[in-house]
Amino acid sequence: MAGGGVRGWLPDVAVVLWRRMLSALGDVNNIQDPTLHGQVMDYLVQLTQTLIKIRLNQGVSGDNQATPPAPELIPPLTVIAPWCFKAIQLPSQYEVGKLAAYRLICLLTVQPQDINLPKQHLTLFYRAVHSGIVSNDNKVLHVLVKYTGPRLFSLNLPGSSLLILDYIHAANVILSSQDIEAPRTEAVSIIGSLLSLPATTIKLPVLQPTATDIVTMTCPDAKEHIITILLKSCRREPTGIARCIALSSIAMFIYRELCYKNQHSRIPEAVTVLLLALKASHATVAQVACDSLLLLCDKADILLELYPNVPCKIIQILSETLGYMSTRERRGPLTISMLFCLGEWAMHLGPSVLLRVFQEKPLLMTLFTVLDNIVQDKIDKDAPQTNKNRR
- C-alpha span between 151 and 161 (Å, rounded): 13
DSSP string, 224-248: HHHHHHHHHHHHH--SHHHHHHHHH
Which residues lie closer than 8 Å to 13 by C-beta, 6 or more apart? 1, 2
- Return the sign of the alpha-carbon dihedral for residues 203, 204, 209, 214: positive
Residue 164's CB is within 10 A of a number of other CB atoms, namely: 23
Give phi and psi for 389, each to the nearest 5.
-90, 5
Residue 216 pairs in a beta bridge with 207
3-class secondary structure for 170-197? HHHHHHHCCCCCCCHHHHHHHHHHHCCC
- C-alpha span between 35 and 247 (Å, rounded): 43
Please report, in tens digits, the pLDDT of each residue of the chain (391 residues total): 445 666 777 777 777 777 787 777 788 999 999 999 999 999 999 989 988 888 888 777 777 777 778 777 788 888 889 999 999 999 999 999 999 999 999 999 998 888 889 999 999 999 999 999 999 899 999 999 999 988 899 888 999 999 999 999 999 999 999 999 999 999 999 999 998 887 777 788 999 988 777 889 988 889 999 999 999 999 999 999 999 999 999 999 999 999 999 999 999 999 999 999 999 989 999 999 999 999 999 999 999 999 999 999 999 999 999 888 877 777 789 999 999 999 999 999 999 999 988 888 899 999 999 888 888 877 765 543 444 345 5
pLDDT at 3: 53
- C-alpha span between 359 and 139 (Å, rounded): 50
- C-alpha span between 385 and 391 (Å, rounded): 13
DSSP string, 116-161: PPPHHHHHHHHHHHHHHHHTT-HHHHHHHHHHHTTHHHHTT-TTGG
- C-alpha span between 166 and 362 (Å, rounded): 49
Give the CA distances from residue 299 to residues 225, 259, 302, 311, 315, in Å, rounded to whole numbers and listed in that order: 25, 7, 5, 10, 15
Calculated CA dihedral for residues 174, 177, 182, 188, nearest 10 degrees? 40
- Rg of the chain in Å (alpha carbons): 27
Give the CA distances from residue 277 to residues 72, 74, 193, 239, 257, in Å, rounded to whole numbers and listed in that order: 52, 48, 21, 14, 21
Would you put residue 350 in left (φ > 0), alpha (ψ -120 to 50) or beta?
left
Give the CA distances from residue 186 to residues 129, 144, 196, in Å, rounded to whole numbers and listed in that order: 16, 10, 16
User: Comparing C-alpha atoms, which of 121, 117, 87, 116 is closest to residue 101?
Assistant: 87
Q: 3-state DSSP helix/strand/coil percent for the chain, to nearest 5?
A: 65, 0, 30
Calculated CA dihedral for residues 184, 187, 188, 191, nearest 10 degrees? -170
